[in-house]
Amino acid sequence: MRRIEVTCILCPVGCRLTVTEEDGEWKVEGYGCRRGLAYGLEEAQNPSRVLITVIPVDDGELPVVPVKTSKPIPKNLLLKASKALAGLRVKAPVRLGQVIARNLLDLDVNIVATRSIKARRDRVEADGQK
């Protein structure tokens, strides 16, 4: 039998759920409402999160651009995915929503920019000085 402790985060009550599996039968206990039941199963069977990080930008007004995965990815792959992005760079300008890398770790998710970064202009001008 497998037993997984999950905290439901769908509402402030924060029920402590116990999810058990025996011969392919899943059971959730401790939920205060139906939403917690579904959440408990999802968290036990397939926990996933959106990965967020930053990627270096060449010739940009700022040196890095924040990015996220286009979909949540399995929780246990977050650190691996974060490492897999090391070495990735992008050239300015970058638009919000621009796809920076495709099919991360063959998971069928993309890496998407969450901020627009302009190309670097003349430094003096960028600082707004005469």
Partner 1 sequence: MPTRRVDLLVVGGGPAGLAAAARASELGVRRVVLVDERRWLGGILPQCIHPGFGLHRYGRDMTGCELAEKLIDRVSSLDVDVYTEAHTVRMGYESYLSKTAEVLTPRGAFRFRAKTVVYAAGARERTCFEAGIVGSRPAGVYTAGEVQEMMDVWGILPGREAVVAGSGDVGLIVARRLTLEGVKVKAVVELMPYPGGLLRNVVQCLEDYQIPLLLSHVVLAVEGSKRVESVLVAEVDENLRAREETVKRIPCDLLVIAVGLIPRVELLAGAGAMIDPKTGGPVVNEFLETSLPGVFAAGNALVINDLVEHAMEQGELAAESAYRFIEDGGFRSASWKRVRVGDGLRFVVPQLLAGFRDVKLYLRASSPSENARLLIPELGKSVRLRSVRPAEMITLTLKAEDVLKAERLTVKLV
Cβ atoms of residues 110 and 98 within 8 Å: no
Task: Show the tokens assigned to 126.
Answer: 């960028």
Tell me whether residue 37 or residue 48 sits nearer to partner 1 (CB atom).
Answer: 48
Tell me whether residue 32 or residue 66 sits nearer to ligand SF4 (CB atom).
Answer: 32
Q: Which residue is nearest to ligand SF4 (CB)?
A: 36
Q: Minimum distance from CB of 33 to ligand SF4 (Å)? A: 3
Contacts for 4 with CB less than 8 Å, ≥ 6 apart = 18, 19, 20, 21, 43, 44
Residues that bind ligand SF4 (CB under 6 A): 8, 10-11, 13-15, 31-33, 35-36
Q: Minimum distance from CB of 63 to partner 1 (Å)? A: 5
> Which ranges of 1-130 does DSSP label H, i.e. alpha helix?
34-45, 78-84, 123-126
105 binds, among partner 1, ligand SF4, none (CB under 5 to 8 A by kind): none
Tell me whether residue 10 or residue 101 sits nearer to ligand SF4 (CB atom).
Answer: 10
Cβ atoms of residues 100 and 114 within 8 Å: no
Tell me whether residue 37 or residue 85 sits nearer to partner 1 (CB atom).
Answer: 85
Q: How far apart are the first and last CA of the chain?
A: 72
